[in-house]
Chains A and B, each alone.
Chain A
């Protein structure tokens, strides 16, 4: 353990991380040091997407990022997508469309879908599949997840027009 400290900016809040082992992943620090367990880990190898967070506008696997190297980044986790505990449209539509079973993949998928729709508000079905193909879901077979994304996409398009 080292005595150094570093700062992380997560969901708009600055945190000081003290007395931490510098080998800790961003996933570990979010969950175990910052009390933000919404981000999940299921493989620690960048294969499952459960740990997806937004770092400086990019979706990354937080299990692959050393926390101490994320000091200058703006990090958004599933807890930071909305204010005041209100669900986002993506979160609500995952529930309504049946995209949540055990829910372990869900936070990572929600972050990934927000990121997709921010970049591409009207993805085709195939683009949706490709965009979330790095997020493993073992329960749903993805059908209801596709439906959830389709519903948000269509609702946002309707709102915009």
Chain B
């Protein structure tokens, strides 16, 4: 078992521990070759991105193209009485206006349930819902055209309270009803009352993915009008293809997608946004169509993290042993289902946290309201559950007279323990190690007597006084499922070609910034002993890779690339063995050579593959999962990863200002495949969790967004970034093809409750809600 420590803090000496920063010093495995697995291989798209040469989807351009734009509902709930597009069509430079009447196929789409209209036809159900789209010669012409479309609405009273949506006596706002899904978990003793009982109701605000690269696509119509090619930033090309083809009434083979460069995703590109609109306009106008959202439209155009209200009651023995959890969860799914039902399942099945607990009574709802639709965001339901269970663990610790660390160690889950769903945790589960190793990381220095204003809460613009600032420390620990759940056959495909010592890989795995492109190259280098690994364009020309989400691509597409490379290696060995009269099972790759492990043959892979060509495709499937029964019992998840976070904050309680000073973390990663990429995921996830803790929230009033802009929706800046100290715990996961667990989501999950707990410790406030606002600190209970 190895581990790496990485310091990412700026404020202190950079050479205290091993640093991921140089990109050269982190590789401890002496045998691994430059660019192979385990090294900080550099991403192939890095330099093009740094030089501005990398083509993002918004950079796509075609001769003769038109600009598409979308008309959206200003009302959260209204009946459409009439749409008059003639004014827009009369504008010089406008080529087409389309509405629901122009959709040739299925009128709705959706990831799990097809319940979201391509364009609203009879009702609009959220403010920002698409009603029509135009194609014009210039973005400004398109904007004027949208203004010229007349829509008469009969405005209705919106349903904006998630709790009210559960009330079955209320009129449904959608034919599918107001409750998207309800799931209970009933396990063990339903009447157990602990010696110690603590409870609370917790609220999580609506967070936005806020990926930097706005939604954009270019659609090119086929000459015969029966097909279209789309360059788009998405997380799952084949799912888009399926949904677009159905809405356009085209054969899926006639809808060809190529990944346009993706400027971040974080769940916000799992659902269809402009895909169908853009393709439809291309088919109608027979011209290339470029569509690109601005930032405000992006807030309307993609789903968000579910706001949630979670009641929890924990029962424990006097010594702190957790005996039973009770919980009621209500997730506001907004107007359309998106992935709400899966988000709900994640929330209810993770509500015990990474702790042993035999008895549970859980009731969860995902409901439909006239608020903006919610769906996938990094952490996917577990973020919400974690904020509640970690807040509870601190209450339990206080009630039992234990420290936050000791209560967690006492109950820490281990491999072989059962979840409240009855599922046995077969994954490596180093929860105790995560906690202990986080606790062993150094604490930050005390705030200087005369700190730079930039280092105190609020920064230089605000007026926190050094004497008022209080420091607090808080903890969070989490469990996160990896891959898709509930019986979904979640596979990934990859192809490998080898000739003359050069490997070429093909896959449809969406590269959204996470770095799968470099990981795929590393795998091929390690398995095949090649140095040069070329990558085909990421497109629907090959089978599905599934979604870049659920921390799944290292495991799934990594497994597929590994499998394809191994098949090619077998054929290479067979060829070499045939030439030399050897048993191919004696052959192995050593560095860049094929070697006979029992003899003296050594031949470079380049020579061995000269004049030959091997081409293999592999599909990786993970083990089967099951659906939950009505009591929430069943093996619904594939595998789990764990992480601990310790946050240190400085707070000015009188002004309600917070500065997150340091976050220490130990993460269960299975195996580090690329230290530089791994630390990037950890630091990036921590920043997003910090955002949810202290600043990020879409504020709604009567169903309307109050802050759909970067001026009003605040994101962490360089000055908000805490020092991060990370330890990666390497206990290879036997189930995982490369021994590595997905690492994308865990960093952002328990850091939020850790920061909020630290603010509680500094202020004594209850703070049952995240993000914590200055008002909550100054005036809260």
Q: Which residues of A contact B (CB under 8 A)?
A: 1, 21, 23, 28, 31-32, 36-45, 47-48, 50, 77-79, 82, 85, 87, 90-92, 94-98, 100-107, 110, 125-126, 128-130, 132-147, 150-151
The answer to whether residues A144 and B47 also contact, given A45-B709, A77-B52, A136-B715 and a CB cut-off of 8 A, is no
The answer to whether residues A38 and B51 also contact, given A98-B40, A125-B10, A143-B721 and a CB cut-off of 8 A, is yes
Whether A132 pairs with B718 at a CB distance below 8 angstroms is: yes
Q: In the bound complex, how far is the Cα of B295 from the Cα of A48, in angstroms?
A: 11
The answer to whether residues A101 and B22 also contact, given A21-B140, A136-B715, A138-B211 and a CB cut-off of 8 A, is no
Whether B454 pairs with A130 at a CB distance below 8 angstroms is: yes
Chain A to chain B contacts (Cβ below 8 Å), 17 pairs: A37-B56, A42-B295, A78-B51, A79-B53, A82-B51, A90-B50, A91-B50, A94-B46, A95-B43, A101-B515, A102-B213, A129-B454, A132-B718, A137-B718, A138-B684, A138-B715, A142-B687
Smallest Cβ distance from A136 to chain B, in angstroms?
A: 5
The answer to whether residues A105 and B212 also contact, given A141-B686, A142-B683 and a CB cut-off of 8 A, is yes
Whether B212 pairs with A48 at a CB distance below 8 angstroms is: yes
- List B contacts of A143 (CB < 8 A): 8, 679-680, 683, 721, 724
Cβ-defined partner of B59 (8 Å) among A37, A126, A151 = A37
Apart from A96-B23, A138-B266, list 4 A-B contacts with CB within 8 A: A87-B47, A103-B49, A125-B10, A137-B718
Residue of A nearest to B9 (CB): A143
Smallest Cβ distance from A133 to chain B, in angstroms?
A: 4
Smallest Cβ distance from B38 to chain A, in angstroms?
A: 16
Whether B455 pairs with A141 at a CB distance below 8 angstroms is: no
- B84 interface residue, CB < 8 Å from A? no
- B21 interface residue, CB < 8 Å from A? yes
Cβ-defined partner of A141 (8 Å) among B264, B452, B513, B684 = B684
- The 0/1 profile, CB within 8 Å of A marked 1, for residues 99-115 of chain B is 00000000000000000
Per CB-CB distance, the 8 closest pairs between chain A and chain B, nearest first, are: A38-B52, A102-B513, A103-B49, A104-B263, A141-B687, A141-B683, A95-B46, A78-B52
Whether A101 pairs with B684 at a CB distance below 8 angstroms is: yes
Q: In the bound complex, how far is the Cα of B55 from the Cα of A130, in angstroms?
A: 29
- B45 interface residue, CB < 8 Å from A? yes
Residue of A nearest to B55 (CB): A37
Residue of B nearest to A144 (CB): B680
- B676 interface residue, CB < 8 Å from A? yes
Cβ-defined partner of B452 (8 Å) among A126, A139, A144 = A126
The answer to whether residues A141 and B685 also contact, given A101-B680, A130-B454 and a CB cut-off of 8 A, is yes
- B512 interface residue, CB < 8 Å from A? yes
- List B contacts of A146 (CB < 8 A): 10, 718, 721
Smallest Cβ distance from A111 to chain B, in angstroms?
A: 9
The answer to whether residues A141 and B724 also contact, given A92-B47, A97-B21, A101-B515 and a CB cut-off of 8 A, is yes
**Which residues 365-416 of B sit at the A interface, judged by CB distance below 8 A?**
none
- B138 interface residue, CB < 8 Å from A? yes
Cβ-defined partner of B210 (8 Å) among A36, A138, A144 = A138
Q: In the bound complex, how far is the Cα of B717 from the Cα of A145, in angstroms?
A: 12
Whether B14 pairs with A150 at a CB distance below 8 angstroms is: yes
Whether A39 pairs with B52 at a CB distance below 8 angstroms is: yes
- List B contacts of A91 (CB < 8 A): 47, 50-51
Cβ-defined partner of A104 (8 Å) among B42, B61, B212, B454 = B212
Q: In the bound complex, how far is the Cα of B51 from the Cα of A90, in angstroms?
A: 10
- List B contacts of A44 (CB < 8 A): 294-295
Q: In the bound complex, how far is the Cα of B452 from the Cα of A135, in angstroms?
A: 21
**Which residues 1-57 of B sit at the A interface, judged by CB distance below 8 A?**
8, 10-11, 14, 19-23, 40, 42-43, 45-47, 49-56
- List B contacts of A39 (CB < 8 A): 52
Whether B212 pairs with A147 at a CB distance below 8 angstroms is: no
Residue of A nearest to B264 (CB): A102
Residue of B nearest to A125 (CB): B10
The answer to whether residues A47 and B213 also contact, given A38-B52, A139-B684, A150-B14 and a CB cut-off of 8 A, is no
- B719 interface residue, CB < 8 Å from A? yes
Q: In the bound complex, how far is the Cα of B677 from the Cα of A43, in angstroms?
A: 27
Smallest Cβ distance from A97 to chain B, in angstroms?
A: 6
- B262 interface residue, CB < 8 Å from A? yes
Whether A97 pairs with B213 at a CB distance below 8 angstroms is: no
Q: Which residues of B contact A (CB under 8 A)?
A: 8, 10-11, 14, 19-23, 40, 42-43, 45-47, 49-56, 58-59, 61, 138-140, 210-214, 261-264, 266, 294-295, 452, 454-455, 512-515, 676-677, 679-680, 682-688, 709-711, 715-719, 721, 724
The answer to whether residues A95 and B718 also contact, given A38-B52, A126-B454, A141-B685 and a CB cut-off of 8 A, is no
The answer to whether residues A144 and B711 also contact, given A92-B47, A98-B676, A106-B50 and a CB cut-off of 8 A, is no
Total number of A-B contacts with CB less than 8 angstroms?
214
- List A contacts of B20 (CB < 8 A): 98, 144
- List B contacts of A96 (CB < 8 A): 22-23, 42
Residue of B nearest to A23 (CB): B140
Q: In the bound complex, how far is the Cα of B601 from the Cα of A148, in angstroms?
A: 44
- List B contacts of A134 (CB < 8 A): 717
Residue of A nearest to B748 (CB): A141
Q: In the bound complex, how far is the Cα of B717 from the Cα of A125, in angstroms?
A: 14
Q: In the bound complex, how far is the Cα of B688 from the Cα of A125, in angstroms?
A: 22
- List A contacts of B61 (CB < 8 A): 32, 37
Q: In the bound complex, how far is the Cα of B747 from the Cα of A140, in angstroms?
A: 12
Q: In the bound complex, how far is the Cα of B299 from the Cα of A43, in angstroms?
A: 11
Most buried by A among B10, B11, B22, B262: B10
- List B contacts of A132 (CB < 8 A): 718
Whether A98 pairs with B679 at a CB distance below 8 angstroms is: yes
- List A contacts of B716 (CB < 8 A): 141
Smallest Cβ distance from A149 to chain B, in angstroms?
A: 10
Whether A139 pairs with B680 at a CB distance below 8 angstroms is: yes
- List A contacts of B715 (CB < 8 A): 136, 138
- List B contacts of A136 (CB < 8 A): 212, 710, 715, 717
Q: In the bound complex, how far is the Cα of B138 from the Cα of A130, in angstroms?
A: 38
- List B contacts of A140 (CB < 8 A): 680, 683-684, 687
- List A contacts of B684 (CB < 8 A): 101, 138-141
Smallest Cβ distance from A146 to chain B, in angstroms?
A: 5
Residue of A nearest to B42 (CB): A95
Q: In the bound complex, how far is the Cα of B144 from the Cα of A23, in angstroms?
A: 14
- List A contacts of B56 (CB < 8 A): 37, 40, 104
Whether A110 pairs with B721 at a CB distance below 8 angstroms is: no
- List A contacts of B261 (CB < 8 A): 103
Cβ-defined partner of B514 (8 Å) among A101, A106, A126 = A101
Whether B687 pairs with A48 at a CB distance below 8 angstroms is: no
Cβ-defined partner of B263 (8 Å) among A103, A110, A126 = A103
Q: In the bound complex, how far is the Cα of B476 from the Cα of A157, in angstroms?
A: 41
- List B contacts of A94 (CB < 8 A): 46, 50
Q: In the bound complex, how far is the Cα of B142 from the Cα of A21, in angstroms?
A: 13
- List B contacts of A40 (CB < 8 A): 56, 58, 212-213, 263
Whether B295 pairs with A125 at a CB distance below 8 angstroms is: no
- List A contacts of B679 (CB < 8 A): 98, 143-144
- List A contacts of B10 (CB < 8 A): 125, 128-129, 146, 150
Whether B683 pairs with A129 at a CB distance below 8 angstroms is: no
- List A contacts of B54 (CB < 8 A): 103
Whether A101 pairs with B513 at a CB distance below 8 angstroms is: yes
Whether A43 pairs with B295 at a CB distance below 8 angstroms is: yes
Q: In the bound complex, how far is the Cα of B715 from the Cα of A134, in angstroms?
A: 11
Q: In the bound complex, how far is the Cα of B50 from the Cα of A90, in angstroms?
A: 9
The answer to whether residues A141 and B721 also contact, given A110-B50, A125-B11 and a CB cut-off of 8 A, is yes
Q: In the bound complex, how far is the Cα of B721 from the Cα of A126, in angstroms?
A: 11
Whether A145 pairs with B52 at a CB distance below 8 angstroms is: no
Whether B214 pairs with A42 at a CB distance below 8 angstroms is: yes
The answer to whether residues A102 and B211 also contact, given A31-B59, A92-B47, A142-B718 and a CB cut-off of 8 A, is yes
Whether A103 pairs with B709 at a CB distance below 8 angstroms is: no
Residue of A nearest to B21 (CB): A147
- List A contacts of B452 (CB < 8 A): 126
Whether A102 pairs with B21 at a CB distance below 8 angstroms is: no
- List A contacts of B717 (CB < 8 A): 133-134, 136
